[in-house]
Amino acid sequence: MNQHIAHIALVVKNYDEAIEFYTEKLNFTLIEDTKLSETKRWVMVKPKGDGQCCLLLAQAATDEQKSRVGNQTGGRVFLFLYTDDFWRDYNNMLLQKINFVRPPVKEVYGTVAVFEDLYGNLWDLIQPVM
């Protein structure tokens, strides 16, 4: 059996502002932006590198979905961005005015800091111990 997670849906307020944040602030690659209807698009972004998992940016369409933007996990860290050079990426993110809510620390598993995306979802930036 061969399985993998291909996409993770991330509810956003607006497609274009989310694309701008992920591609310009986090330096992700826009994989696809296909119009499906007047209000719906298929938008996928992913970090640079060999990873296969993409974020599917899903614009909130209902009041319930809108209430989840920025808090899909009840305030817990939601996504984990692994890097091969923590300090390079951390410093680049600071230059892009990314808000870090927990400063860098060395843990047994690697160097990690917690940042917010444009809506307040929490992410770990991690350089794992090899």
pLDDT digits (tens, 9 = 90+) for 104-123: 999 999 999 999 999 999 99
> Looking at the domain covering 1-68, what would its CATH class be?
alpha beta
Helix and strand element counts for the chain (H, E) = 3, 8
CA distance 90 to 100: 9
pLDDT digits (tens, 9 = 90+) for 4-60: 899 999 999 999 999 999 999 999 999 999 999 999 999 999 999 888 899 999 999
Q: Domain ranges in the chain?
A: 1-68, 70-130
> How high is the pLDDT of residue 52?
87
Domain 70-130 listed as CATH 3.40.190.10 = no
